[in-house]
Amino acid sequence: MDTTLCGGDILMVENSQIEGTIAEIRKRNGKVTSFNKEKISNAIYKALAATEEPDRKLADELTEGVLGKLIQQGFSVSNSPSVEDIQDMVESTLIDRGHSEIAKAYILYRHERRKIRDEKIKVLNLKILDPVSKNFDLNCLRVLASRYLMRNHQGNIIESPSQMFERVALLVALGDLLRDNTIFTKDGNVTQDVEQARSYLGKLDDFDYKFKIGDHYLNKWHFRGLINLYIELAMKGQMKIGFKQLLTMLAAKKFDNYSDKISEYYDLMTEQIFLPNSPTMMNAGGRLGQLSACFVLDMPDDMAGIMKSTSDAALIFKSGGGVGINYSDLRPEGDIVASTSGVASGPVSFMNIINTVTEVVKQGGKRRGANMGIIEAWHPDVEKFITTKTEPGILENFNVSVGIWEDFWNSLVNSPDGKYMLRSPNGKDPVREINAHQLIDLIALSAWKSAEPGLIFFDNINQYNVFAKARGGPLRATNPCGEQSLYPYESCNLGSINLANLVKRKADGQYEFDWQKYEETIIKTTRFLDNVIDMNNYPVLEIDVASKESRRIGLGVMGVADLLYKLRIPYNSKEGYEFQSKLAEALTYYSMEESIALSKTRGEFMLCSKTEYPEAKIPISGYYEKPKNQHSYDWDALIAKIQKHGIRNVLATTVAPTGTLSMIADCSNGMEPTFALVFEKRVTVGRFFYTNKIFENVLKENGLYSEELLSKVADNYGSIRDIPEIPEWMQKIFVTAMDIHWADHLMAQGVWQDWIGNAIAKTINMPHDVSAGDVKASYLLAHEMGLKGITVYRDRSRNQQVLHMTSENAEKTFDVRPSTYVTDYVERLITNPYVKTQVDNALKLVTPEEIPKPIPQTEEEKEETLCPTCKNNLVFVEGCSLCIECGFSGCTSG
């Protein structure tokens, strides 16, 4: 029996009686849904938290009082209360029980909820909110509205978030449906009339929303995807039935069981557990149908080839992708062109052509494209290339990187005089000798000034490249953010798992990581991305061919920093590094295991037999470089399975930038530390603070939350370091990018790189006061750690179009030291004398008194830090710029 005070009277109400009396609730849109008293309790609990008195037991007691009042007011099974009725009862119950402050907080909470609901309706152009819109944060929905939801010719949004995710899930699930064993055979010995299927491509409009799977209707672009995959499989002899018979079975609901698969993919996205790269969400089930984030093109030293690549780049930008190109095969500036007796203009001039094309061809009609431009260290124009972007306004649509091979590295760290020969692209004839130390110093100084160029370590990339033999040479290019190495005309389909949502609460209220759910999610999402390859409408024929020859996917993660906050594990601690290493190993192990399973039922990737996989080699450095007693999984057994069954995807894992994806998933970016716990937005009425939600909750639970404290954190570079009001245990756990020494940023990237097949999108954050020598030392340490590339960002770099911290009062008041984990690593494992000396010198710290004060920005430089879309401040994370207001990103995948 519950004794509940209601309206001044004591009501004796049986729990069972309450549950049986009110079964449903009338929503604002007139629909009826099941009554759930937990929602009332949660709303009251939030009101209690707002008054800094979070008390779950009291919230539950007050909820029982609300239920008693509802019964007293005559609500029952036949007379269901509305949402407003219940909210009114909450208010009166709180007042009757003497909780006037809580009642006030609840009224404010109710008002704020109404405001948010109205704002969501306005942002999404809806009359009523769909299920996803109700659950997603307003900022998540703003990003969806600005970039992902379909619009009509007038620019008006014409789909809800729920419809968007259904559109994506349905297309991806068609890849499973067409592999149903009743209609598909892996063996490939059946002949079908392919032209019959192809004829349907000319009448797509006639089949718009004519077929459905369960309750999910196929639009004409879904239907196009179905036709194209059928044709491809039929041409391989793998379809047991004709196309008309397939349609007959579809109409007869023979495939309605795949409605469950659609729901599985839909739930992964709408529960913010997994999101594919941006082009997939933008274009799946749409006219463009191009689903890949990144591509690499060739740039041969002839005009026809250059123009072909330029044209292909334009088509890729139009379809929503980004492009990486290695320009090292182009002859240097000033070389004689034999066919015309003219003088070559050099690689940088041809980069300007691609830059202009990028400027005028908007990606998928929604954003400008992104490029990676690479010159290898031996090229005669390398010095000009390095300094090209130190001035503002040059190659603004490019990230640039210098490609490093073993010969340069050997000259740098092993040669006494550092002599290094630049060579002609044509025949590799010697051109002139330079000093490797001077070249790396020039790269470091340029990156110190402008965050570019980055370095790409092609020697490390190709050390365990199992694909070189099949492709006839090493990898020489990457996608725009450098985390995805590709051969010419290859593409990659990326996706990221939100680790912050893979937790469960223990009895004591603390979180623990759900390893079983992680494994299940990896398996589902690997299949998801493999389907994306098949359902993709590639912009260029050569890309279609090359992508399916390798079936390269890039499953990655986001929300790592938020996960560590929830688990109370410091990011840059021994426990933090070991935990992240295990996350990375599990990601690749289970993804490759599922790729083997797919190979059994669907077949291995086309060039698998020509790779080093049959020789028991795998593209995972951790397998070779870490002692077996440090492996968490049986890699030898997995290799044996590959030898027996093959593997479906040449590589499976990549940690890509997740800028806008993280905003949609409402979590931290990639495997990056949080860039700030609190940052400021100035509006006409004053200062407004964005606060990390996990940190905010912990502040409230510990009675520390206040506007004054948030202001202090924002002015402290978004960090809680050395703020006396914050307990020491909290300072250790809630670290930010600026709390972490650059050597620890490298270590974090390194522990992931050990187990990731491709590479990592990561920014090596450095404070304003570092020297170019520190940047150089970071290069040396990165290479020794086995990283495949490095992007350094020194806070407030001049001419860099990003701003790390948004508080105008932000000032560095604390010093950052490398962790003992890093210093022990350097002491034990860095053996090269030159590298050891340079790194040791860089890790010697200056005192706070020696730290130079930041140089104030000019008005012109401030303008350069603004988002080109909404003119709000940008931040720099994962190697590219990101607007936390509208979701603009300088990268393509996120």
Work out the average pLDDT over 197-217. Answer: 97
Decide: residue 22, CB within 10 A, 0-12 exposed, 13-18 middle, 19+ buried.
buried
> Residue 215: phi, psi to the nearest 5?
-100, 10
Tens digit of pLDDT for each residue in 497-540?
Answer: 999 999 999 888 899 999 999 999 999 999 999 999 999 999 99
Decide: residue 730, CB within 10 A, 0-12 exposed, 13-18 middle, 19+ buried.
middle
Work out the average pLDDT over 660-679. Answer: 93
What percent of the chain stands above pLDDT 70?
Answer: 88
Work out the average pLDDT over 128-154. Answer: 93
Whole-number pLDDT of residue 371: 93
What 3-state class would DSSP assign to 571?
A: coil
CA distance 386 to 372: 13
Whole-number pLDDT of residue 638: 98
> Confidence band (pLDDT; 50, 70, 90) for 12?
very low
User: Which of 578, 549, 529, 555 shows the shortest CA–CA distance to 284?
Assistant: 529
Tens digit of pLDDT for each residue in 76-104?
Answer: 877 888 888 888 888 888 888 888 888 88
Whole-number pLDDT of residue 163: 97
Residue recorded with tokens 């449903």:
24
Tens digit of pLDDT for each residue in 614-639?
Answer: 999 999 999 999 999 999 999 999 99
Catalytic residue set: 479, 481, 483
Q: DSSP states of 58-79 as a string?
A: HHHHHHHHHHHHHHHTT--SSS
- Bridge partner residues of 216 (DSSP): 213
Distances, alpha carbon 612 to alpha carbons 600, 647, 865, in Å: 19, 12, 46
Whole-number pLDDT of residue 1: 32
Work out the average pLDDT over 130-143. Answer: 93
H or E element: which one contains 213? strand 212-213
Whole-number pLDDT of residue 266: 98
Contacts of 100 (CB under 8 A, 6+ apart): 94
Average pLDDT, the chain: 88
In this model, does residue 320 exceed pLDDT 60?
yes
Among 221-235, 378-392, 423-437, 852-866, whose mean pLDDT is lowest?
852-866
> Confidence band (pLDDT; 50, 70, 90) for 22?
confident
